[in-house]
Amino acid sequence: MVSTKLTGNYIFRKFECGLSKYETSELCFKSVRTITRWDGGQEIPPECKRLMRMYTGREVGISESWIGWRIAKENLISPNGLSISSNKVLTGTAILEIGAEQDSYNLSLIIKTARSLRNTLKS
């Protein structure tokens, strides 16, 4: 019978991050044997822990401006719970890149209309 010792590292990797030994080894550029040693209690290097948290959406970045942001499935989630898809990021960036005054005016009209429609649909 094979028993697995439930160390803090094992719980972190398996249950908090949801990563298999193989996935962790690929992500951190380490061998499966190294991951097994981590599971047994050997210290996980801080950079690998951070990478595991970032990869599984538990952490986005290291600067203060990213505090509270996370990734869920394929969306970026803001601290106030707004779900932002990659298409929204690209659209917003494209509009900001254009930067023409008329475009800014049209953008504000589009946003006001979208908010009105959203509030109407919620009612």
| Residue 122 pLDDT exceeds 60 | yes
Cα distance between residue 85 and residue 65, in whole Å: 19
Q: What is the pTM of this model?
A: 0.51
| Residue 64 pLDDT exceeds 70 | yes
Q: Largest alpha-carbon pair distance within the chain?
A: 71
Choose among 54, 50, 51: nearest CA to 76: 54
pLDDT band (50, 70, 90) for residue 100: low
Cα distance between residue 25 and residue 29, in whole Å: 6
Q: Which domain holds residue 110?
A: 85-123
- One domain for residues 75 and 33: yes
- One domain for residues 120 and 67: no
- One domain for residues 60 and 112: no
Give the count of domains, the chain: 2
Percentage above 90 pLDDT, the chain: 28
